[in-house]
Amino acid sequence: MNAWLQVFSLDFAVAALALVVLALDAFLRIPGRVLGWLTAGVLASVLVASFFVDTSGVVPHGVYESGAWVVFFKRLFLVAGLLGVMGSIDWLEERTPRRQAEYYALMLFSLTGMMLVPGARDWVLLLVAFELMGIPLYVLAAWAKTDGPATEPKLGPEAGLKLFVTGVASSAFTLFGLALVIGETGSTALSALPVQLTPLHTTGMLMVIGGLGFKLGAVPFHMWVPDTYQGAPTPFVAFLSVAPKAGGLAAFSVVMLSGWAQHVAVWGPALAVIAGASMVVGNVFALPQTDARRLLGFSGVAQIGAVLLAIAANTQEGLAMALFFISTYVFTNLGAFLVVHAAAQSSGGHEVSMLAGLSRRSPWLGAALLVFLLSLAGIPFVVGFWAKLFVFLAAWRAGLSGLVILAVVVAVLGLFYYLSVARSTFMAEGTSSEPIRAGLGVRLSIVVCLLAVVGLGLWPRPLVDEATRAASAFMQKH
Amino acid sequence: MTLMNCILLASALMAIGVYGLATRKQAVAMLLSVELMANSANILFASFAHFRGGPTGQVFVLFALAITVAEVAVGLALVMLLYRRHGDTALDLASEARQ
Amino acid sequence: MSHLLALTMAAPALAAVVLLAIPGTSRTALRVVSLIGAVISLAGSIWVATLYDRALGGLQLLDTVPLVPSLGIHLKLAVDGWGVALLLLTGVIIVTGVLASWSVAKRDKEFFLLLLVLVSGVYGVFISQDLFIFFLFYEIAVLPMYLLIGIWGSSHKVPSAGPFGFTWKRFEVGSREYAAMKLTLMLLVGSAAILVAMFLLWSNSGARTFDMQVLEATKFPIAVQHVVFPLVWLGFGTLAGVFPFHTWSPDGHASAPTAVSMLHAGVLMKLGAFGVLRIGMVLVPDAAAWWAPIVGAVAVVNVLYGALCAASQKDLKYIVAYSSVSHMGVVMLGIATMNAAGWNGAVYQMVAHGIMTGLFFALVGLVYERAHTRTIAKMGGFAHVMPVVAGFFTLACLSSLGLPGTAGFVAEFMVFAGAAKGASPWWAIPGVLGAFVTAVYVLRACKTIFWGPAPVDEFAHLQDVQRTEWAAPLVLGSLLVVFGFWPKLLLDFIDAASQGYLGRLPIVALAQAVTP
Amino acid sequence: MSPVTLAIVATVAPAVAALLLLVLSPLRHRGAPAAWVTLLGSLVSLGAAVMLLVARLGGAPDARATIPWIEERGRAMAEIGILIDGVSLPMLIIVCLVALCVQVFSIAYMHDEPPRAFGRYFTLHALFLFSMNVVVVSPNLLQLFAGWELVGLTSYLLIGFYFAKPAAAQAAVKAFWMTKLADMGFLFGLLVLYVSTGGFEWTSAPSATVATWVTGLLFLAVVGKSAQFPLHIWLPDAMEGPTPVSALLHAATMVAAGVFLVVRADPLFALAPGTREVMLWVGSITAVFAALLALVQHDIKKVLAFSTCSQLGYMVAALGAGQAFAGFFHLGTHAFFKALLFLAAGSVIHAVHSNSLDDMGGLRKKLPLTTAAFVIGSLSLAGVPGFAGFFSKDLVLTSLEGKASWIPWAMLLGAAFLTAFYMGRLLIKAFWGELSERSSHAHEGNVAMTGPLVVLAIPSLASGFLGGWLATQSSAQYELHLGLTPVLASVMSLAGLGAAILVFRKGGQAPFTHVLEKLDTFSVVDRTWAGAYRIGLLGVASLAGWIDRYLIDGLINFTGWSALEGGSSARRLQTGLVRDYALLVTVGVLVLVLIGVLR
């Protein structure tokens, strides 16, 4: 096998799996549920394999760069994909039994795109990978008319369209900006910017930021977030709310910190504004939400603001902390969405008020949701606290103390709505008292998330070390 | 035709596309506007390639086109879904999600 | 036993873990395990007190585990004299609190679980010698309160009025959810301020460390101190009920179930005062000296205003809750004096008030459980049917109004003496007046509830104290008297710490230089 | 045993009794055992006190011992301990003796109470004796204050002993509040003393200004505790308590603690002539004012209560005149004869089951021993020559000679007349005249009731002759001399008695009765305090409560409300229209570009 093929072995495995799933469905009529578990199993094996396969080879022409940085992200995506797939199995079986293979395949394609992003050092590869990650999501967002009961509005098409329109508008801007940057520089290498920038460079760079910001759901490119989260199938949203964000973060870091690090004066303020606006808007808009998915959507906008804070720090420590943050966010948010999903399947709606009595019906689910909410709120002894703390510390050290204070203040608003959800879960009297029925996949995913959130909350060091290693591997090369 | 003119042309196209996106009520018109926006970028790539030389821009255009096509294909499918849901392709119909 | 402190702190949390494994149906087992956890922690506290060398003073029983060394975060536990006193208080309150909650019927497993976790946090705060860990434990101590009040609390109606009456549309003022949410949010706004202050200290410490001993030795730039101190004061002060950020306390304590009120008013509010003292006064002494007049003036408002508010209440729990606001004002007043008498008094008042208010809430809970009302006007003559409750309630009242022979007197007297000797002697005047107003409202309540003709109809058969309910009144009541007659028991510890920390204060050094 | 040990035993014995009764609740609930335990405690105290006295007569010096109590910076900020000297030892004996008599009397008087209440009563008595002894033996003002507050507590609990009676409950609380109000003065005085001298010793000699402040503040407390005008209003109400309690606390010992305080702190008061001036006037006014009100009372206990006020006024006036010993001497004699009077009154009440003078009459035939006791007490109180009260009252009056243009002297002479007059009225109404209906069934109580009367009658008769010894003990001058004052005082007392016989024998009324009754029922002072409480305190409290709930908490609610409303209105920006989303993306990109370009 060629050395550079080995570099991409994980990515190829995932892409191949997508094809295999399609083929198995088309030719052998393998039941969807089996395909789902197969997908999950292979993803798990790939994840395990990532610890044994050496992917540190060199790729010709410098378009791709392997190393600890890339591996960190790939594992993260694989975990997110694995959890997302497991969370979807039962729902798919129930709702769209005849279209299961496509769902998995699309998710795997998106995953492939994601896995290529962090290593990309050339605009062409980055753009293609980024779009490969993004386009399947449009389709998946509109996968079903609705995932709730028939009484809920059928928002599937709308979810897809909103994601799509903002997405293509953003990518048009990205393309436009790239055209300016690449045209002016004359090279598609990420690191090819001159020391002295022309106005065209500057304009182009900022437009690219706008385009990338869409995937992260940062303000002002966040408008799709609540609507899509509300309309798309919740198990998918669980995946959508974390994995592409990690992908977006990877793209952001690759662009900002590898190629453009020297020009932090250009993008730094813009990023700071986006970060601040995201935290404020996300938290304020989340306050009046009554739909758990929209609420989590806006809360996600606010969380992304915190990650961008760390990127804006433009230091290795900041990057490491951003990695740590996004990793914990994957577990936390995915878990939260899956609990909401499980509860909604049993109680017939995604309203926060529908969570009433959850802790009585299924104490463990209630406790899990509480843990996830506390983690999102940044409360000690669950991992979200460390994530927020590390990010704030890094930003503070980089001189962004004003933004940190802003973040701390708006975090209080966050507490209000997180606690409101907890209130429904724990204090309100529910109408039903029968236990929540959740599929094995969902339960397994939630347990993994819970273990991660609590375990890392008690002992965050391994992940911090890992993130630091990845970040330093990345920063030392650039 | 100077590079600056081309940039202005591309920008104008972009602006028209944005304007269309923001005002057109029909989903198909929206798709057209999106195409305009994407193609304004392609024009920019091409003009840079033309005035500055080198294959970079031209190659990129190809990729960009492919990506845009894929996007629009998905977009069309989504518009179909919208039509099935509402019997119309008016984009504003897709505004049920807000509370 | 090198990990004694860690064990003391962790015992309740470990019991909570054990609780997880016990099925919710074996109710006695749940309670016994909780009690064991609490008792171990109390025994640990007592052991700590016996091991602590009062003559030596300073930090003792050091126990360090590096946690995130890259950020300068260590699990560093040690105890000073103040810590010893407050550990003992915590131990006593949790043991009696668990016994007082023996009859909790609703979701008892979760209740004890949260209660125990909370207490571990409280212990942690008192023994943390790393600012970061301090904060961590502080949050653990504060947060379970939300659920504890929100689930097991009680609600009542508060009519809307005043210029902000329109906000009642959104809030069910008086409901337990409202109380829980207000309490949690206000306290967490406070911890946000603390967090910012922590960052400032950490980043200006030179060594980039959270180690409090290192921070103590650091001389922070005065500009930094002037930002840190108000943040610490208001941040921790919110929990200590500093005016005007005290309004979570009446609603919170009135809504909370018995053991939670006991713990919250008895111990948690002390975390706030302890924070101001341990972090504000000790780590940034220069700014503290500058701010002290303001802190003291606000504390004085607390004392008098809290007492007046209490005097206007018709609900028994609100009276006790407002009395906490008033008494915590005494603590803050003592802290603001920045002299030994004041600080000793402040810490002593923390203990005295903790015990006293714990006793109060235990008894109020008992009365409420039987009479199903907290409106004083509806009660009367209860001493005929529950003489023991009446007796202990009177004792709590007496400590509350600072009667000699009870712990409250020693504490208040030291604080007032410290205030009189300090820079602003006039502080003592409203302080003493507050104690008088306290005498008015506690005795009026006592008279209305317990005295008068024997109750008829539904109150005629109220039971007196039963079985485990004896624990809180007996233990807390006798401690009030013991500490009232023999303050040396605690003062030796407290004074050792006060001396040590005062020696570092710039103004004290100055004063010692001036006076022979 | 050394004097220190004896003093400690004398102080602590009742505390042990009280503790035993508190802890061993069966003992208390049984009733009778509680009485024995308390009596034993008092007996031990008295025994120790007597042994101390014997030792002192044998030439033992003053004894003083202290231990640190409250610490600050490793040093004692406050100490507790004992001090036995010529002031505290006589006081100790008086207190223990009277207490023992009252307790014995109570066994008979309270025997109808249910056992639990009986037990509680004696527990409180033990507690009281302990507290009072703490006051008496205290070596410094802080401990005195502690004991002072503790006796206030026991007073509160004992006045409220019949807590089922709303009037008793109200009286108890009122007594506590009034004295507590005054005690703030004590506390402030202590603080001033501490700040200026670093301790709580009455021997420390601060500057005159400080001394004036300290003594002025201490005097406030005296006014409260010793029921001086205008804080006297609690004392008549305190008669709601059981009569033996009135005898012990509200006549003989506790209310005299104020006088005792001034006697103790005499070195400080000596430095503050201003304070003494005020005391002189307050004492005189109280003496006259209370004597006038005593004239129109129909409740036998209230007559005695106002009489107590009046006599305390005498003592305070003497202290104001700078003659601490005169006040102290009067305190001693007063303790005996007033306790005697109250116990005799208790015996009467026990016999006729009523407090009202109107229900009594002709009792001398039914209750000969009680009548004798009452007469002795009355004559002593009236200051008839030869009786104990004569000597001390004479000393008080003598000490006032020439002070403040002789006005206080004249006032107190007038009060002496009034005293004899109202006591005559009381005697005639209760013991002479026709047998009333209720009186006809009266009979003497058992020996527990009569015994204490006999015991107390002796010092009421004779303790006046101990003045000389007492004076040497407290290194004061005392000699009985035949001058203007003693003669006038004797005349006044005899005149008062004579006038009473003239006026009341035929069932007449005192002159100005109408006016005085108006004054009594209208009770200006009482109403002023009630108004201050209702409007000043409760009014301000309600205002504070309202402000807290609706303004301060309202503001906090408003903050939350604003955030939520802000969120709700901001939500409208999320139009839900795809085109707006796209537009916002554009605007966002443009803004970013602008930020970057215009940076």
Per-residue pLDDT of chain D (599 residues; tens, 9 = 90+): 788 999 999 999 999 999 999 988 888 888 889 999 999 999 999 999 999 999 988 888 889 999 999 888 888 888 999 999 888 999 999 999 999 999 999 999 998 889 999 999 999 999 999 999 999 999 999 999 999 999 999 999 999 999 999 999 999 999 999 999 999 999 999 999 999 988 899 888 888 899 999 999 999 999 999 999 888 889 989 999 999 999 988 888 889 999 999 999 999 999 999 999 999 999 999 999 999 999 888 899 999 999 999 999 999 999 999 888 899 999 999 999 999 999 999 999 988 888 888 888 888 888 889 999 999 999 999 988 889 999 899 889 888 888 888 899 999 999 999 999 999 999 988 888 888 888 788 888 888 888 999 999 999 988 888 888 888 887 777 776 677 888 888 999 999 999 998 888 887 777 788 888 888 887 888 888 889 888 889 999 999 999 999 999 999 999 888 888 888 888 888 888 888 888 888 888 888 888 877 76
Q: Do A127 and B18 touch (CB under 8 A)?
A: no
Whether C199 sits inside 8 A of A374 (CB atoms) is no
CB neighbour list of residue C121: distance below 8 Å, 6 or more residues apart: C137, C138, C139, C140, C141, C142, C144
A-B interface (Cβ pairs under 8 Å ≥ 3): yes
| pLDDT bucket at A192, cuts 50 / 70 / 90 | confident
Domain limits for position A21: 2-477
Taken in order A6, A8, A11, A17, is the CA torsion positive or negative?
negative
Alpha-carbon distance of D469 to D480, in angstroms, equals: 12
CATH topology of domain B3-98: Helix Hairpins (1.10.287)
The answer to whether D306 and D297 are in contact (CB under 8 A) is yes
Most trustworthy range by pLDDT among A104-108, C64-68, C106-110: A104-108
Least confident of A324-328, C60-64, D494-498: C60-64
Q: Is C481 left (phi over 0), alpha (psi -120 to 50) or beta?
A: alpha
Is A25 part of the contact surface with chain D (CB cutoff 8 Å)? no
- Using the CB atoms, write b or e for C501-510: b if 16+ within 10 Å: bbeebebbee
**Nearest residue of C to residue A388 by CA position?**
C195
Which positions ≥6 away from C216 have C-beta within 8 Å?
C282, C283, C504
B82 interfaces chain A, CB cutoff of 8 Å? yes
Is residue C240 scored above 90 in pLDDT? Answer: yes
User: Are A13 and A44 in contact, with CB atoms under 8 Å apart?
Assistant: no
Q: Identify the band that residue C303 occupies on the pLDDT scale cut at 50, 70 and 90.
A: very high
- Identify the residue whose tokens are 């940039």: B7
Distance CA D92, CA D134 (A): 10
Sign of torsion, CA A254 A257 A262 A265? Answer: positive
Cβ-based contacts of D574 with chain A (< 8 Å): 223, 226, 285
Ranges of each domain in chain B:
3-98
Chains D/C: 3 or more C-beta pairs closer than 8 A? yes
Say if CB B95 and CB D578 are below 8 A apart: yes
Contact D443, D352 (CB under 8 A): no
Which H or E run includes D2? Answer: none
Quote the strand ranges of C44-145, DSSP E.
60-68, 73-79
C22 to chain A: which residues are within 8 Å by CB?
Answer: none
Distance CA A229, CA A235 (A): 10
The pLDDT of residue A276 is 93
Give me the torsion for CA of D157, D162, D168, D174, rounded to 10°: 10
Q: Which residues pair with A351 in a beta bridge?
A: A291
| Angle (CA) C62 C68 C70, round 5° | 115
Mapping DSSP to helix (H, G, I), strand (E, B) and coil, where does residue C78 land? Answer: strand
Q: Which of C68, C139, C202 sits opposite A380 (nearest CB)?
A: C139
pLDDT above 80 (res C510): no
- Read off the DSSP letter of residue D82: E
The yes-or-no verdict on residue C123 having pLDDT over 80 is yes
Do A328 and A377 touch, CB atoms closer than 8 A?
no
CA torsion angle D268 D273 D278 D283 (round to 10): 70
Show me where the domains of chain C are located.
4-514
Q: Flag residues of chain B having pLDDT under 70.
A: 98-99
Question: Of A308, A227, A319, A229, which Cα lies nearest the Cα of A274?
Answer: A308
The alpha carbon of residue D564 is apart from the nearest alpha carbon of chain A, in Å, by 6
The contacts of residue A203 (CB under 8 Å, 6+ apart) are A177, A180, D593, D596, D597
DSSP code string of D108-136 = HHTTTS-HHHHHHHHHHHHHHHHHHHHHH
Interchain proximity A161–B27, CB inside 8 Å: yes
Query: Above 80 in pLDDT, residue C58?
Result: yes
Picking from D78, D157, D557, the nearest residue to C164 by CB comes out as D557
- Cβ neighbours of D537 (radius 10 Å): 18
CA nearest A432: which of A355, A331, A326, A350? A355
C381 touches chain D (CB under 8 A): yes
Do D191 and C416 make contact, defined as CB atoms within 8 angstroms?
yes
ipTM: 0.86
Q: State the total domains in chain A.
A: 1
Chain C residues closer than 8 Å to D221 by CB: none
Phi–psi pair at D314, nearest 5 degrees: -55, -50
Is pLDDT of C2 > 80? Answer: no
Average pLDDT over residues C228-241: 93
**CB-based contacts of C74, cutoff 8 Å, min separation 6:** C64, C65, C66, C67, C130, C133, C210, C211
Q: Considering CB atoms only, which of D574, D595, D596 is closest to A223?
A: D574
CA-based R_g, chain C, Å:
22
The model carries a pTM of 0.89
Task: Identify the pLDDT of residue C514.
Answer: 45
* SS3 per residue for C239-304: HHCCCCCCCHHHHHHHHCCHHHHHHHHHHHHHHHHHHHHHHHHHHCHHHHHHHHHHHHHHHHHHHH
Contact A390, A317 (CB under 8 A): no
Taking CB atoms and an 8 Å limit, are D586 and B22 in contact across chains?
yes
Check if the beta carbon of residue A118 is closer than 8 Å to that of residue A74.
Answer: yes
Q: What percent of chain C has pLDDT over 90?
A: 55
Residue in chain B lying closest to A204 (CA): B41
Phi and psi at residue A52, in whole multiples of 5°?
Answer: -115, -30
As given in the structure block, the two tokens for residue A148 are 């709730």
The tokens describing B22, both together, are 């923001």
The pLDDT of residue D586 is 86
Q: Which two tokens stand for residue D364?
A: 């001398």
Contact D326, D471 (CB under 8 A): no
Which residues contact residue D526 at a Cβ distance below 8 angstroms, ignoring those fewer than 6 apart?
D233
